[in-house]
Amino acid sequence: MLKIYNTLARQKQDFTPIEAGKVRMYVCGLTVYDFFHIGNARTLTVFDMVYRWLSTTGYQVKYVRNITDVDDKIIDRANKNGESIDSLTGRMVQAMHEDTDRLMMLRPTAEPRATEHIGNMLGLIGGLVDKGKAYPASNGDVYYAVREFGGYGKLSGKSIDDLRAGERVAVDGSKRDPLDFVLWKAAKPHEPHWHSHYGEGRPGWHIECSAMSKAELGETIDIHGGGWDLQFPHHENEIAQSEGASGKPFVNYWMHAAFLNMDNEKMSKSLGNVFTTREILAKLDPVQGGETVRFFLLRGHYRSEINYTWDLLLDSRASLLSLYTALRDVPPAAMQIDWNEPHAARFREVMNDDFNTPMAFAVLHELRAEVNRTKSAELSGLLKALGNTIGLLTQDPARFVQGGEASGDDAAEIDALILQRQEAKKARNFAESDRIRDELKARGIVLEDGAGGTTWRRA
């Protein structure tokens, strides 16, 4: 039985989907005004892992991850660049897919864009106004009336009175209450806008996810995910909107991925420690980099904060290389996982305990040691198959260990030099043998002599 920590219940719960064998999962995606940073990468990777594991355990998963393609940041960045919003968001969506592909992520079942669901948002807003949960204001905006929703604060644990007491911003004269949040923004000059019953305008951020989730998955869904920072106000506001409109539970299981810190400090532009995933990947080996970052992001439990440093990233690469080296030295047999096999049973047990990837990684390393000891192709095949369930060990082992972007000609030249070295050793010409090793070392090629011959990898 799969157990998931439900943020709403504040405890692990047995997972029972609304419809047997099927899962409806929605995850808050990216606002596409720039390349996504390594903190975003953690959340995206976590829920890709969840998607893969649910699929592995037999569920038919509809995984929806939205794209916010109209927003203040997008408008500001497009104006700064002197380009259209469509041009900016088109480039950033393409870049997002390139980078998520490098992190071995599967594409979601659906990737709805906010601008494609304006009609659904207006329909939801209209229903809330009709029910007295929202109101048009004198400034042309439409606001959600927070005090009209009795369950506000149940996800984050915040009370309305405490929030009201802590409100330090002067009340907007068009709002009934400072806690009320915008559903529809009146159009401003030179901004994108759509026609509505309330006048020209564009949607607020929070209404997007409620409308797209309902359109893609229905009024009640199984799992809603996102970063820890989205609990309040974004997810709290989603609950108010969705349940205020439908009168039904919005989400059965809320999941939140914890923060990624940079050198033990929270990421902050003022500290200059915000790095895009693309920047980090550019510093890593092109073959090994994407999976190295994925391995690093999954080494810690998704509900625990993790710390990023370059040394920790390189340590992840070394750990991942040890798994691939075992697969290279003992070619894996093609196989279906036998979940009764002790290693597989243990792997499934820990993954079903709220997706405990640190313990799952420990099982992979135990299995690696067994592969190295027994030289069993079956155990090597099991190692590869278990890693594959969470998006790891999917590449050719020899290619991964060698790394680099060597062309076929480059690899052939290296192999030829290794053969010359072997011939020199046979002729007891150790000076020549050492010369060839040193030449390759100077080119960043490390030779590893073993019982099966000499293999090479990049330093």
Pick left, alpha or beta for residue 60 (phi over 0 → left; psi -120 to 50 → alpha; otherwise beta).
Answer: beta
Residue 266 CA neighbour count, 13 Å, CB half: 5
Nearest to 100 by CA among 67, 72, 58: 67
CA distances from 423 to 97, 266, 403, 417, 441 (A): 47, 56, 26, 10, 19
For residue 267, the SS3 value is: coil
For residue 240, the SS3 value is: helix
Q: In what order do the strands lie in the sheet with 60-68?
A: 60-68, 22-31, 221-227, 251-257
**What gap in Å lies between CA 439 and CA 84, rounded to an integer?**
52
Those residues whose C-beta lies under 8 Å from the C-beta of residue 325, and which sit 6 or more positions away, are 397, 401
Binding residues for Zn(2+): 28, 209, 234, 238
Are 240 and 208 contacting, i.e. CB atoms less than 8 angstroms apart? Answer: no
**What gap in Å lies between CA 362 and CA 319, rounded to an integer?**
11
Binding residues: 28, 209, 234, 238, 269
Q: What is the DSSP letter of 396?
A: -
Those residues whose C-beta lies under 8 Å from the C-beta of residue 180, and which sit 6 or more positions away, are 143, 144, 145, 146
Binding residues for ATP: 269
**What gap in Å lies between CA 225 and CA 29, rounded to an integer?**
10
